[in-house]
Amino acid sequence: MPRTLATRLKAVLPSATLAMNTRALELKAKGVDVYAFGVGEPDFEPPAHVLEAAKKAIDAGASKYTAVSGMPALKKAICEATLRMRGVSVAPEEVCVSVGAKHALFNVALALYEPGDEVLIPAPYWVSYPEQVRIVGADPVVVETSEENGWRMTPDALSRALTPRTKAVILCTPSNPTGSAYREDELRALLDVLRPHDCWLVCDEIYGEIVYDDFKHVSPAKIAPDLRDRMVLIDGVSKSFAMTGWRVGWSLAPKHVTKAIETVQGQSTTNATAVAQHAAVAALNGPLDALQSMRTAFQRRRDVMVAGLNSIPGVRCRKPEGAFYAFADCRGLYGISWNGKPLASDEDLAFWLLDQAHVAVVPGGAFGAPGYLRFSYAVSEERINGAVEAIRSAVARGRG
Q: Which of 247 and 25 is assigned the larger pLDDT?
A: 247
- Is residue 169 domain-shared with residue 228, that is, in the same domain? yes
Query: Is residue 158 predicted with pLDDT exceeding 70?
Result: yes
The reply to whether 395 falls in a domain is yes
Average pLDDT rounded to a whole number, residues 199-222: 97
- Is residue 239 domain-shared with residue 178, that is, in the same domain? yes
d(CA 388, CA 372): 16
d(CA 331, CA 14): 24
Burial class (CB in 10 A: 0-12, 13-18, 19+), 201: buried
- Is residue 22 domain-shared with residue 88, that is, in the same domain? no
Q: What is the model's pLDDT at position 382? A: 97
- Is residue 28 domain-shared with residue 65, that is, in the same domain? no
Query: Is residue 19 predicted with pLDDT exceeding 90?
Result: no
- Is residue 215 domain-shared with residue 310, that is, in the same domain? no
Q: Can you give the pTM of this predicted structure?
A: 0.95
- Is residue 26 domain-shared with residue 100, that is, in the same domain? no
Last residue of a domain, one of 224, 256, 285: 285
The reply to whether 159 falls in a domain is yes
Q: What is the model's pLDDT at position 20? A: 73
Q: For 86-152, give the DSSP string.
A: H-----GGGEEEESSHHHHHHHHHHHH--TT-EEEEEES--THHHHHHHHTT-EEEEEE--GGGTT-
Query: Is residue 319 predicted with pLDDT exceeding 90?
Result: yes
Domain that holds residue 391: 7-45+290-399
Start-to-end C-alpha separation, the chain? 58
Specify the CATH number for the domain of residue 227. 3.40.640.10
Whether the Cβ atoms of residue 43 and residue 380 lie closer than 8 Å to each other: yes
Query: Is residue 350 predicted with pLDDT exceeding 90?
Result: yes
- Is residue 295 domain-shared with residue 252, that is, in the same domain? no
pLDDT-above-70 percentage for the chain: 98
Average pLDDT rounded to a whole number, residues 297-317: 98
Last residue of a domain, one of 252, 285, 318: 285
Average pLDDT rounded to a whole number, residues 80-103: 98
Q: What is the model's pLDDT at position 16? A: 65
Specify the CATH number for the domain of residue 392. 3.90.1150.10
Adjacent-strand bridge partners of 144: 123
Last residue of a domain, one of 243, 267, 285: 285
Q: Please, which pLDDT band fits residue 11 given cuts at 50, 70 and 90?
A: confident
- Is residue 254 domain-shared with residue 187, that is, in the same domain? yes
**Which tens digits make up the pLDDT trace of 162-203?**
999 999 999 999 999 999 999 999 999 999 999 999 999 999
User: Between the CA atoms of 169, 105, 251 and 72, what dihedral angle is there, to the nearest 10 degrees?
Assistant: 170
**Which tens digits make up the pLDDT trace of 118-142?**
999 999 999 999 999 999 999 999 9
The reply to whether 260 falls in a domain is yes
> What integer best gives the mean pLDDT of the chain?
95
Q: Please, which pLDDT band fits residue 4 given cuts at 50, 70 and 90?
A: confident
The reply to whether 38 falls in a domain is yes
Query: Is residue 333 predicted with pLDDT exceeding 90?
Result: yes
The reply to whether 92 falls in a domain is yes
Q: Please, which pLDDT band fits residue 1 given cuts at 50, 70 and 90?
A: low
Radius of gyration (C-alpha) of the chain in whole angstroms: 21
d(CA 109, CA 261): 9
The reply to whether 1 falls in a domain is no
When divided into structural domains, the chain yields a total of 2
> Among the listed ranges 16-20, 111-115, 307-311, which one has the minimum average pLDDT value?
16-20
The reply to whether 279 falls in a domain is yes
- Is residue 119 domain-shared with residue 149, that is, in the same domain? yes
- Is residue 320 domain-shared with residue 226, that is, in the same domain? no
Q: Please, which pLDDT band fits residue 12 given cuts at 50, 70 and 90?
A: confident
User: What is the DSSP-derived secondary structure letter of residue 21?
Assistant: H
Q: Which of 391 and 14 is assigned the larger pLDDT?
A: 391
d(CA 20, CA 17): 5
Whether the Cβ atoms of residue 38 and residue 17 lie closer than 8 Å to each other: yes
d(CA 360, CA 201): 33
- Is residue 343 domain-shared with residue 264, that is, in the same domain? no
The reply to whether 2 falls in a domain is no
- Is residue 118 domain-shared with residue 30, that is, in the same domain? no
